[in-house]
Amino acid sequence: MLEKELERSNYPASDVEVRPFGDEEVEIEATLAITSVDGDELDALVARLSTSSMVQQAFWSPSTTD
């Protein structure tokens, strides 16, 4: 679902990591494949993801790490 939303918003992920988070949950971290992002667009993407009953928490944060 995350990858589809990122592609739909023209923010394809270059890397997606899925890690266990508790007994029945996972943490998913996606690194975007682009160098420029629009915060308002990512806020809207996070809002769409947050409407899913499968998502307990969604957020994005900028990083300058390659």
State the average pLDDT for the chain. 89
Q: What percent of the chain has pLDDT over 90?
A: 55
As given in the structure block, the two tokens for residue 12 are 């394809």
pTM, full prediction: 0.78
User: Is residue 58 situated within a structural domain?
Assistant: no
User: Is residue 14 situated within a structural domain?
Assistant: yes
pLDDT of residue 32: 87
Does the pLDDT value for residue 27 go beyond 90?
yes
Half-sphere exposure in the Cβ direction for 28 (13 Å, CA): 16
pLDDT of residue 52: 94
Number of folded domains that form the chain: 1
Name, in order, each residue with C-beta under 8 angstroms of 48's C-beta and a sequence gap of 6 or more. Answer: 5
SS3 for 26?
A: strand
User: Is residue 27 situated within a structural domain?
Assistant: yes
pLDDT of residue 33: 77
Domain of residue 32 covers 2-50
